Amino acid sequence: MLTFRLLPLLAGALLAATAPARATAAPVPALVAVTALAAPAAKTAPVSRIDPTFWWVGMKNPKLQLLVHGPGIASTTATLRAYAGVTLDGAQRLESPNYLLLNLTISPTAKPGKLQLEFKGRQKFSYAYELKERTTPGDKSKVQGLSQQDFIYFLMPDRFSNGDPKNDYLASMRAPKVARDSMYSRHGGDLKGIENHFDYFRQLGVTALWMTPVVENDMPKASYHGYALTDYYNTDRRYGTTEQYKQFVDHAHASGLKVVHDVVLNHMGSGNYLFLDQPAPDWFNQWPRFTRSNYNASALNDPYGSQLDRKLYNQGWFDTTMPDVNQRNPLVATYLIQNFLWWVEYTGLDAYRIDTYPYSDPNFLMQWGQAMNEEFPSLFKFGEAWVGSTAQQAFFARNIFQPVDGFKSNLESVFDFQSTFALYDALKGEQPNLNKLYEAVQGDWMYEDASRNVTFLDNHDMSRFYSVIGEDFAKYKMGLAWLLTMRGIPQLYYGTEVLMKNFSNPDGLVRADFPGGFSGDALNYFQARPGQPGEAFEYVRKLANYRKDHAFLHSGKLMQFIPQDGVYVYFRYAPEGTVMVMLNGSKDEKTVDGMRFAERTGGFTSGMEVTTGTVLADLKSFTIPGHTAWVMELRK
């Protein structure tokens, strides 16, 4: 999620003009005309494009909705030349004369090939639409999903590494060139730059890569973040072509790395062709004048909440340059669902991270999740639900709650913001409170399976962890120890492993270029990491690889003990082994009565700290230094 107060506004976007109501549809937002980018000139080709751009035979859902776009296309009559196993069920006109919907049924007997769609109006023409052979069924390297065994590395492609300078300048785009001296401009990172450092990820112990959206974001300012998409079916060419992205996923899989695809369901960029030439006004949430979301999800499951608050949350716009999509329109819902099925089948990606998950229409979220589950059961989906409590957080994942207003989430996982905030409370200031960490995990009873939640220290919308804790290296190691030993799927924000720092004021300060990813960089942390950045990298590397190699740490059961005297102790255990994790939040050393943990330490006589090799010879009583994390493998 992008902090709304810092998103770029186009010139004049804050003018409070009011558009007159339309007789045939809901009023258009007053600021639409101000923030919409200029529409491209009409093309001479009868069909400008068809979404989805192609499809596959053998999909579990035989229905396919084609959105045909072209000048005056609605005035034509469409037919399908005979093709075994495929029927054209009908055509539907929308309010815009430049769109036509075609509904097809593709039976299980249909073979790959090209359908001939024929259009008859003032002129006759045809369009060859391709049906491909599926590649994901039976290929174990594709759509692998995620589990506690994984360690996610999160990066912003534009800010990580420039591997292909040829895509640094593209005259056809609204922000055509790089400007590394501006935090809001493109800096030139791309897919090739990321791929060049697959070895770096593997060395660190990473198993999955999550990138901010790689789809086209052809906006004139701050397009580097990717969350204002302008084409659902194209990769942003400044990262590489769509085919190159497919190859990127293949190469990642061959290198033992999974790929997480970042998606936005709730909104698009105002430069999207669907907004510039709207199929119908009801494809977007319309208001008499521009209306923002209230950014507060509490009303969704508040038994006393007002309908107005719910509507403002789900139908208000995220920002003036991010039109809010009307997912209650079944045609829009189908368009979006098909798009996200398309990306999985086309690339074989392993997981979806869903931006601003709660902002979408609840019924649509259930439809979307069900469609993904039915077509790709192994696809992992985790959502950003930046809310105010564990109960609210659990509401948006599969949980034990009864449905509220019929909503029951199909989402396996959410980001564990509450545990992150608890960690901040535990490590900030002179009076740390490790009880917050205990309480955050105690709330796991609300989830169907909290071990699927994604844990993290920070992200692109938050101040960097090292700055939050006052650049205290001892506390840094405590945070990393917690991240890599607690239940859940850990996610590391790029550069945390080399102590990148800053506060998100503005956001661009926490989205700096990775040192060494760009020509001329004074430091190259891919090759050498002197001083504390090197110590930090080694700590993460040792612990992450230990975690990867020992199933009892990444997948074992969890038992925690109520913190006492500033010391928090928990265990990850399985028949194959046991790890005891101890966090001393106090600046003073603490003597701990080990007999309190006898139900987990029984049968063991000693322990070895996995990052230093230090041996703990007596488990009955021991002293842990201040601001220290121990990850002890217990031994008999």
pLDDT tens profile 450-508: 999 999 999 999 999 999 999 999 999 999 999 999 999 999 999 999 999 999 999 99
Taking residues 194-201, report their average pLDDT.
98
Minimum mean pLDDT among 33-42, 142-151, 247-256, 471-480: which range? 33-42
Q: State residue 27's pLDDT score.
A: 34
What residues form DSSP beta bridges with 577?
574
Q: Per residue in 212-257, pLDDT tens?
A: 999 999 999 999 999 999 999 999 999 999 999 999 999 999 999 9
Q: State residue 57's pLDDT score.
A: 98
Q: 74-96 as b/e, with b when 16 or more CB fall inside 10 Å?
A: bebebebeebeebebeebeebeb
**For residue 545, pLDDT beyond 50:** yes
Q: Which of 276, 265, 371, 261 is nearest to 325 (CA)?
A: 265
Strands 628-635 and 606-609: antiparallel
**For residue 20, pLDDT beyond 50:** no
Q: State residue 37's pLDDT score.
A: 52
Q: State residue 433's pLDDT score.
A: 85
The length of the chain in residues reads 636
Please say whether the dihedral angle defined by the alpha carbons of residues 366, 372, 375 and 380, taken in this order, is positive or negative.
negative
- Alpha-carbon span 584 to 563, nearest angstrom: 10
CATH topology of domain 553-635: Immunoglobulin-like (2.60.40)
Minimum mean pLDDT among 15-19, 351-355, 470-474, 629-633: which range? 15-19
- Alpha-carbon span 176 to 191, nearest angstrom: 17
Q: Per residue in 248-299, pLDDT tens?
A: 999 999 999 999 999 999 999 999 999 999 999 999 999 999 999 999 999 8
- How much is the mean pLDDT over the chain? 92
CATH topology of domain 49-132: Immunoglobulin-like (2.60.40)
Q: Per residue in 400-418, pLDDT tens?
A: 888 888 899 999 999 999 9
**Side chain identity at residue 146, one-letter code:** L
Active site residues per annotation: 355, 384
Name the helix (H) or strand (E) containing 567.
strand 567-574
Quickly state the pLDDT bin for 429 (edges 50, 70, 90).
confident
- Alpha-carbon span 493 to 151, nearest angstrom: 11
CATH H-level superfamily of 152-549:
Glycosidases (3.20.20.80)
Number of other residues whose CB lies within 10 A of the CB of residue 572 = 26
Taking residues 602-617, report their average pLDDT.
96
**For residue 14, pLDDT beyond 50:** no
Domain ranges of the chain: 49-132, 152-549, 553-635
The model's pTM is: 0.93
Q: Do the domains spanning 49-132 and 152-549 agree at the CATH topology level? A: no
CB-based contact 12:34 (threshold 8 Å): yes
